Structure 1
C-alpha cells in the first residue's frame, strides 16, 4: 500500500522530512545534490542504476534502462560522484518527460540542461558538464542498492526533492517518517500563529517544544 501518497504529505518540505529522519535516527539527507532545472518538487519510488568505468575495449552503455522505468518512478543514477562525464542528457530528459517519469537524481553530473528546462523535467545532480559518458562508463547494475554520496538508496525507497535538495526515505519506514514530518510541520505552523498573535518567538518555541522536534528518539 502506497501510504506515502497521502495528499496530506504534499505540504511537507525536505527540511521537515530531514528533521523527521533525525528524530528517528535514520540517514537520508543527501549532501551536495541540488536542482538543475528549476524549483520542481518530486516524490516517487526509486528506480536505481549503478554505473562503473567501462571495461577496456568495451563499448559503454548509458541510457537504455529508461525503457524499464514506470510512470511516477524517480530514476536514481549512481556514477560514483564523477563530474568528468555525464550519464544523463537531452534525449533522456525528453523521453522521461513524455513518459511521466517522476524525475532524475544523479550522483554525478548531467548535460543538455537547457533541454530539460525547456520541457520542465526535474533533474537533481552535483552539477552540469558537457562531456559524454559513452565509452567511459557502463551500466553495472539495475534495481540494486546505490549511493548518493553519503546516503544509501535501495530500489523502491521514497525519493523527495525540492529547492533544498534530496532526501531518501526507506520504503518500510515511509509512513512513520512522513507522519513525524507532518507533526513537525503543524507545530511550526502553530509557532508562527502564536507569534503573529502577539507571543514572543522564544515563548512560542518553548511552549510547543520546537528545540526537541528533531532530537533523536
Structure 2
C-alpha cells in the first residue's frame, strides 16, 4: 500500500536515482512538467481519452481517490489539449496529486501560477470538447511509451516520469536511499581531489574485465 511514509521517502530521492535500478517503466523524455519545481508521487488513476472529446477526464476525476495521479492516454493525438486551466484547477480542488498526459496541455501560465503539477508532451492552443462519446477509465493504458496499470506508482520531476510496480516500490526506495548516501560521499571526495578510480577500479573494468565491470556496477 502506498502510504504517507512511503510517499515521504520516495519524495526525498529522485526519479533519476530510481532510474539506475529499472530496465523499463520510464515515460518518453518529452513528457515534462509545465513548471520545473513540480515533483509528484502517487498511484495512477488511468484514463484513455481519444481525439477532441475530453469528457471522460472529468468523469475519471470524480471517481479517482484523493492523492491520485490522473494519467491520460491520448491514443497518439498530439494536436488537441485535454488539460488546461479549468481541468487543472478542478483536479487540484478535488485533491488529485497531478495530471500526466501523453499529449499537449494548454493554459501553461495559469497552471504554473496555481502551482498544480501537470506533465505533458507539449503545448497546444487547440482544445477538446465535452461530447461524452468516447473514453475508458481504470484500465491498463500506454502513456509516454510505457504501460501504466491502475495503482502503479507514478514518480516524476523536471527530469521526467517513471512508473513503478507497487510490489517493487519499497525495494527500489531502499536502493535509491543507499545510492543517495553514496553520492553524498562521492561529492565530498571529489571536491577534496579524489576521482572515481579511488572507489572503482575503472581501468581494470574497461580494459580487462567486462563481467567484473557489470558486477561492480551492481554494487554501486
Q: TM-score range by the shorter chain?
A: 0.7 to 0.9
Q: Secondary structure at the match of 2:50?
A: strand
Q: Which residue of 1 aligns with 2:37?
A: 39
Q: Which residue of 2 aligns with 1:21?
A: 22
The answer as to whether partners of 2:33 and 2:120 remain within 8 angstroms in 1 is yes
Change (3 A) 1:108 1:69: same
TM-score computed with the length of structure 2 as normaliser: 0.82
Deviation at 1:10, TM superposition (A): 2.5
For the aligned residues, what is the CA RMSD? 2.8
Q: Secondary structure at the match of 2:101?
A: strand
Mapped to 2, the partners of 1:8 and 1:91 lie a distance apart of 31
Deviation at 1:213, TM superposition (A): 7.4
Mapped to 2, the partners of 1:181 and 1:115 lie a distance apart of 34
Residue 76 (structure 2) aligned to one of 68, 76, 81: 81
Change (3 A) 1:63 1:214: farther
Mapped to 2, the partners of 1:30 and 1:116 lie a distance apart of 22
Deviation at 1:81, TM superposition (A): 3.2
TM-score computed with the length of structure 1 as normaliser: 0.83
The answer as to whether partners of 1:160 and 1:166 remain within 8 angstroms in 2 is yes
Change (3 A) 1:3 1:121: closer
The answer as to whether partners of 1:29 and 1:167 remain within 8 angstroms in 2 is yes
Residue 177 (structure 1) aligned to one of 166, 169, 172: 172
Report matched runs for 1:27-176 at 5 Å: 27-31=24-28, 32-53=30-51, 61-65=55-59, 66-134=61-129, 139-176=134-171
Q: Secondary structure at the match of 2:55?
A: coil
Unaligned runs of 5+ in 1: none
Deviation at 1:69, TM superposition (A): 2.2
The answer as to whether partners of 1:51 and 1:138 remain within 8 angstroms in 2 is no
The answer as to whether partners of 2:49 and 2:57 remain within 8 angstroms in 1 is no
The answer as to whether partners of 1:17 and 1:181 remain within 8 angstroms in 2 is yes
Structure with the largest fraction of strand: 1
The answer as to whether partners of 2:49 and 2:72 remain within 8 angstroms in 1 is yes
Mapped to 2, the partners of 1:213 and 1:41 lie a distance apart of 31
Deviation digits for residues 22-72 of structure 1 (CA, Å, limit 9, x no counterpart): 3xxxx1111121111332110000010012347xxxx76343222112221
Mapped to 2, the partners of 1:11 and 1:213 lie a distance apart of 26
Q: Secondary structure at the match of 1:85?
A: coil
Deviation at 1:189, TM superposition (A): 1.8
